Amino acid sequence: MIEFGSKEYKKVSFTMALGSFLIFCNLYFFQPILPQLAKELEISATKVNWIFASTTLTLSVFLVPWALVSESFGRKKVMLVGLFVPPIINIVMLFDSSFYSMVIARASMGIALAAFASVAVAYMAEEMSPSALTQAVGGYIAANSLGGITGRIVGGVLTDLFSWQVAAMAIALITLIGGVAVLKNLPAQKYFKPQRGLFFHHNRQLLQHLKNREVWFAMLIGGFNFALFVNLFTVIGFRLSDAPYSLPSSLTSLTFLCYLSGTLSSRYSGKWVEKRHPIAGMVLGTTIAGIGMFIAYVDSIPFMLIGLLLISSGAFFTHALAYGWVSQKAITSKATATALYLVHYYVGGSLGGFFLIYCWQQGAWAAVMAGGTLLCLTIFSLCYLLKNNQN
């Protein structure tokens, strides 16, 4: 097993973090340029959201299938699919930039990205000692956040300076170079044992998790939390790109730096659990995000940024606690349970965009606050149900 601090550990942990960084760059780089694409394609904000939502939606659907494929063919082979197919898709988009072609291409992107996201932690868990795994996963999650922020800023800045096609080419080139680095530096697995014929077994495990209310309610909390969080950032992009601000995508993309407050709050979640109950923390995190949403109502960019910082810190705090709850409370097949949590998480993010963008179109930020309040109340209700269904 790979031990923490060893030369091999440093090599593997950095390589996995690099792969994670590239995946989330590709996943999110279209998000800040949705307002500009809506104008360019002459379509509504709700319709243009499909270009972003199709990716997260297909990613969520294919997490579990890719995990099953990796049981037969190995983790590394599957992860490399997730790194070498996205550049091809980005290049294909350059030849046909019609709305429906872009939606299909981005949906295909989600399928490819799920290949890496679904099995990366499994690879590390099988090759590393427990102490090394804890440290490596921390770096992996940090790379998730950094990749998402970088992808959004690169997408916004390059689109503003040149075009979204240039941004797509840049991301494709970076991903290709990074993919080659992962191919060369990631060792073949030593402790992986192929297991075939697990399809029906895993289906039974999925049904068992969904029947376990103590686990399923936490999954739903994760989904509604992400629906609120990621799409408030999307809507704020439309708000800042419209009059009276009329900011370019290069500046609106910088709002995603507010995600860094969530990186800090998620790290504090471990200390919270040591002294207090996780469900109380989920309620607190949702409350903080809700307060941030109301502060962002003030028609001032500084107040909007303060609101986004609170939204990010509260939502990440809730996410970390709900994710940890699922991995702890799942009776068997914990890896399947955490994958199923991510399915709820990304489906919530996909569908929540259509809901909050519709609110924005109907009544600007006041309607968004009403819709966001409904999502917060739903999370509070799920927390109540989760508390009452504890074993």
Compute how many other C-beta atoms are within 10 angstroms of the C-beta atom of residue 113: 28
Give the type of residue at 108: S
- What pLDDT score does 128 carry? 84
Q: What is the mean pLDDT of the chain?
A: 88
Q: Give residue 206's pLDDT.
A: 66
Half-sphere exposure of 357 (CA within 13 A, CB side): 25
Report pTM. 0.85
* Structure confidence at residue 130 as a pLDDT band (50, 70, 90): confident
Where on the phi/psi map is residue 280: left (φ > 0), alpha (ψ -120 to 50), or beta?
alpha
375 pLDDT exceeds 60?
A: yes
Confidence of residue 141 (pLDDT cuts 50, 70, 90): confident
Contact 92, 382 (CB under 8 A): no
Contact 123, 71 (CB under 8 A): no
Judge if 1-196 and 198-391 fold alike in CATH terms.
yes
pLDDT digit string, tens, across residues 70-101: 877 888 999 999 999 999 999 999 998 899 99
CATH of domain 198-391: 1.20.1250.20
Asked whether 51 and 109 are in contact (CB, 8 A), the reply is no
pLDDT at residue 195 in the model: 64
182-204 average pLDDT score = 73
The first and second tokens of residue 156, run together, are 């916004």
Measuring CA to CA, how many Å separate 47 from each of 37, 74, 346, 375? 10, 38, 19, 22
**Rounded to 5 degrees, what are φ and ψ at 128?**
-110, 155
Res. 212: pLDDT tops 80: no
- The pLDDT of residue 320: 84
Q: How far is CA 286 from each of CA 222, 279, 293, 389, rounded to the nearest angstrom?
A: 11, 11, 11, 20
CATH 1.20.1250.20 given to domain 1-196: yes
pLDDT of 267-286, one tens digit each?
Answer: 787 778 778 888 999 999 99
Show the tokens assigned to 329.
């409370």
Dihedral angle, C-alpha 226, 145, 369, 110, nearest 10 °: -50
Per-residue CA distances from 297 to 1, 72, 170, 303, 358 (Å): 52, 51, 35, 8, 17
What stretch of H or E contains 332? none
In this prediction, residue 328 carries a pLDDT of: 72
All structural domains of the chain with their residue ranges: 1-196, 198-391
Identify the pLDDT of residue 97: 86
